[in-house]
Structure 1
Amino acid sequence: MAIKVNQEECIACGACLSVCPFGAIVMQDEKAYITEACTACGACVDTCPVEAILREEEDKVVAMDKSQYKDVWVYLEIGEGKLRNVGLELLGEGRKLADGMGQSLASVLIGHNVEGLAQEAFAAGSDKVYLVDAAELAQYNTDSYTATLFDLISNYKPSVILMGATNDGRDFGARVACRVGTGLTADCTGLGIDEATGFVSWTRPAFGGNIMATIICPDHRPQMGTVRPSVFKKPVLDYSKKGELIRVASKIKQEDMRTKLIDMIHVCTVSCNLEEAEIIVSGGRGMCKPENFSLVEELANVLGASVGASRAAVDAGWKPALHQVGQTGKTVGPKIYFACGISGAIQHLAGMSSSDLVIAINKDPDAPIFKMADYGIVGDVLEVLPILTEEFKKIKSA
């Protein structure tokens, strides 16, 4: 939509100048003109006494033929030779969407020597697996993976694509959406089917988590979205299930990739692999100083757990951002979550609410974290943690 001035009708009264909040109207030769600063808010339209300022409708984009697009796809991310949990989690939700839409569920596997992972996708509920296997795809590369998924979409036309909101998923998911000319809803925490339209409804937090926005994509296909890891639970795998394996030849050549992987340096060990962790020990502001995080790390080492941190601890510089759990950090869903010296801000609770069992340690008996905890210990975390660590050591040695 654009704002235009009918120069023949304009009487240069200046009424529009005073109401424009962006200073986007100027007077030249006793006529009003709209500049590039205009945001089409319409304040001037309602003010003009002679109705010389008008809204002009821009040409509407012709809607695509959505009937050509069908099936729900899940992109399966691979890490260290196995499927990442987020892909399996999305297959569980994808199955629900596919059944609700009366369509098939398909997985997309991109990599090298990864055909053996297809059976796990079938076990998680996938009806089909699109496999693109080539030496050039052995390591994730933005150019090659974007082009590969774009070719698959162009040839097979899926209706819905689900991707994990991981570093890789966020990197090339938006590129693919832009290339195919559709929208992408990022960092979703809920999926469903809109009853009125039959479209996928994507739910995600907005305005710092103060509201939950539900978004649909009515005019373009595929409907795309990224979903945070650990938001949904993995389905129970049934390895007796079979499906259709569709091998697709790769069109990628080495010269098509603008970047080349020289070496991979592991800057973070298993202790910060929060999305895949079954046990997480997290510390917050109650740890008082960075040196005290050694108590969290000692307990994590005994339990074979990953180390997490609240936003307050990360902002204070006590732990790197890779360890942050919460709405602005990582969403996790371990079997056991230890909240040590964490009060329980709503943003942190949103990031760990999928945990099966929550154990909270805090000296404030009214701390919000206790409302979510399955077990609570009221006490000084600096005194409680060493006792817990010693007890777990005794149990393991026995």
Structure 2
Amino acid sequence: MEHVIFVPAIYRVDEISQLASFLSFIEGRITVKDKKIVLYLYSNRKVEDKDINYLKTLPANQIVVSKSEHFSDWEQPYIEAITQHIKTIKPHAVISTSDEFIKSILARVAARFSCGFAVDCTDFIFDEVTQNYIFLKPAYAGNINAKISVKNSSIVFATLKIKNVAECSFENVDRKVEIIESLFEELKLFSGNIKIIEKNLAQNIDNKLESAKIVIGVGRGIKDKENLKYAFELANILNGAVGVTRPLVDMGWVDREYQIGQSGKIISPQIYFAFGVSGAAHHICGIGSPKLIIAVNRNKDAQIFKIAHYGIVADATSVMKSFIKAFKNRLKGC
């Protein structure tokens, strides 16, 4: 009997490359020979040819693009489609990324099947004999990995936070990608009376945090929301991205999409700048293992200095401005 893993994902042009790491991770953790990984990519428009070609190389046994004009910024059409696909596929597990939108969708789908849901896990253990899952999730500010078992569920639902990797170790095979039109009556029923009038984005900035090689991390030590502009300016100069600690999100300075850490995004930059970051464990567990960490903090006893390769005891914003000036001057002749 096949062990089926269903991976639902939403088509976003700038995020599709992350599927390689994600699927490779799952494929490596579940080692039974009779496993079947089924990827469904939900889209409200035509998937670009280059992305179709990319999908064909992914380590999945079946890849389906489910296209419908009803898929938008509202969860309900996705809930109806994923529910129907689960009934058809009959998976043992439904596993997806820890994107906030997909978590909201899967929580409702899991409730429909009266199943447990493990969210924001960083790893899992699969028992080949019992075919049970044990998920690992940081707890107590990242000091331990809690083990989570989803018991008494016909289907295991979970989302994973994994680090993206530059290269994935899976066989390059030209697989068939099936494209279907989602014509469920439920999609028409729930979408027909809903119309998006206006979208308000907190900040319309291309900030590819999870794939950036250089990340400018900022914490409360920058003191003022206005000083965030220097972080974005420095990131722009270095072709990097900006990430923040949780307090800045809680204070409403930036959107949660910028948060790094246990309750935010897991990143894997080569270089990490920490401006005004104290170094709390729940933030540090999200930065991966950068080759170079440069920390700036006024508190000489800040935890961040224990892991930094270079530390500067000074005002974070002032040093950030100095770095901007220095890098601008250095790049003039390039």
Q: TM-score normalised to the size of structure 1?
A: 0.71
Aligned in 2, Cα 1:294/1:194: closer, same or farther, shift over 3 Å? Answer: same
Determine whether 1:350 maps to 2:282: no
Letter in 1 for 2:331: K
User: Once the 2 structures are TM-superposed, how far is the Cα of residue 115 of structure 1 from its aligned partner?
Assistant: 6.8
From 242, 267, 286, the counterpart of 2:221: 286
User: Once the 2 structures are TM-superposed, how far is the Cα of residue 368 of structure 1 from its aligned partner?
Assistant: 2.0
User: Once the 2 structures are TM-superposed, how far is the Cα of residue 350 of structure 1 from its aligned partner?
Assistant: 1.8
From 296, 299, 303, the counterpart of 2:234: 299
From 44, 56, 63, the counterpart of 1:129: 63
From 82, 98, 101, the counterpart of 1:149: 82
| Structure 1 residues 308-367: Cα deviation after superposition (integer angstroms, max 9, x where no partner) | 222344455655555332323333333432111212011111222355543222344543
* 1:85-164 correspondence to structure 2 within 5 Å: 86-100=18-32, 102-111=34-43, 112-114=45-47, 116=49, 117-137=51-71, 139-164=72-97
Determine whether 1:331 maps to 2:266: yes
In structure 1, distance between residues paired with 2:284 and 2:212: 17
User: Once the 2 structures are TM-superposed, how far is the Cα of residue 382 of structure 1 from its aligned partner?
Assistant: 3.7
Contact 1:285–1:313 (8 Å) recurs in 2: yes
Determine whether 1:241 maps to 2:173: yes
User: Once the 2 structures are TM-superposed, how far is the Cα of residue 239 of structure 1 from its aligned partner?
Assistant: 9.4
From 149, 159, 183, the counterpart of 1:251: 183
- Where 1:136 maps in the other structure, the secondary structure is coil
Aligned in 2, Cα 1:156/1:288: closer, same or farther, shift over 3 Å? Answer: closer
In structure 2, distance between residues paired with 1:82 and 1:380: 35
Letter in 2 for 1:113: K
- The residue aligned with 1:368 is 303
- The residue aligned with 2:135 is 202
Structure 1 gap ranges (5+)? 1-66
* 1:6-45 correspondence to structure 2 within 5 Å: none
In structure 2, distance between residues paired with 1:349 and 1:357: 14
Aligned in 2, Cα 1:124/1:177: closer, same or farther, shift over 3 Å? Answer: same
Contact 1:185–1:225 (8 Å) recurs in 2: yes
Q: TM-score normalised to the size of structure 2?
A: 0.83
Determine whether 1:70 maps to 2:3: yes
| Structure 1 residues 54-80: Cα deviation after superposition (integer angstroms, max 9, x where no partner) | xxxxxxxxxxxxx5x62223223322x
Aligned in 2, Cα 1:344/1:192: closer, same or farther, shift over 3 Å? Answer: same
User: Once the 2 structures are TM-superposed, how far is the Cα of residue 214 of structure 1 from its aligned partner?
Assistant: 1.3
- Where 1:390 maps in the other structure, the secondary structure is helix
Aligned in 2, Cα 1:292/1:232: closer, same or farther, shift over 3 Å? Answer: closer
Letter in 2 for 1:133: K
In structure 2, distance between residues paired with 1:201 and 1:119: 34
User: Once the 2 structures are TM-superposed, how far is the Cα of residue 232 of structure 1 from its aligned partner?
Assistant: 5.0
| Structure 1 residues 247-267: Cα deviation after superposition (integer angstroms, max 9, x where no partner) | 444233433325333444443
Q: Which has the higher contact order (CA 8 A, sep 6+)?
A: 2
In structure 1, distance between residues paired with 2:136 and 2:201: 34
- The residue aligned with 2:153 is 220
Aligned in 2, Cα 1:256/1:289: closer, same or farther, shift over 3 Å? Answer: closer
Aligned in 2, Cα 1:83/1:340: closer, same or farther, shift over 3 Å? Answer: closer
- The residue aligned with 2:110 is 177
From 161, 186, 191, the counterpart of 2:124: 191
Aligned in 2, Cα 1:142/1:354: closer, same or farther, shift over 3 Å? Answer: farther
From 380, 383, 386, the counterpart of 2:321: 386
User: Once the 2 structures are TM-superposed, how far is the Cα of residue 147 of structure 1 from its aligned partner?
Assistant: 1.4
In structure 2, distance between residues paired with 1:316 and 1:179: 35
Letter in 2 for 1:225: A
Q: Which of these two proteins has the greater Rg computed from alpha carbons?
A: 1
Contact 1:106–1:126 (8 Å) recurs in 2: yes
Contact 1:362–1:381 (8 Å) recurs in 2: yes
User: Once the 2 structures are TM-superposed, how far is the Cα of residue 152 of structure 1 from its aligned partner?
Assistant: 1.4
| Structure 1 residues 65-113: Cα deviation after superposition (integer angstroms, max 9, x where no partner) | xx5x62223223322x354455333212111134346413221111131
- Where 2:118 maps in the other structure, the secondary structure is strand
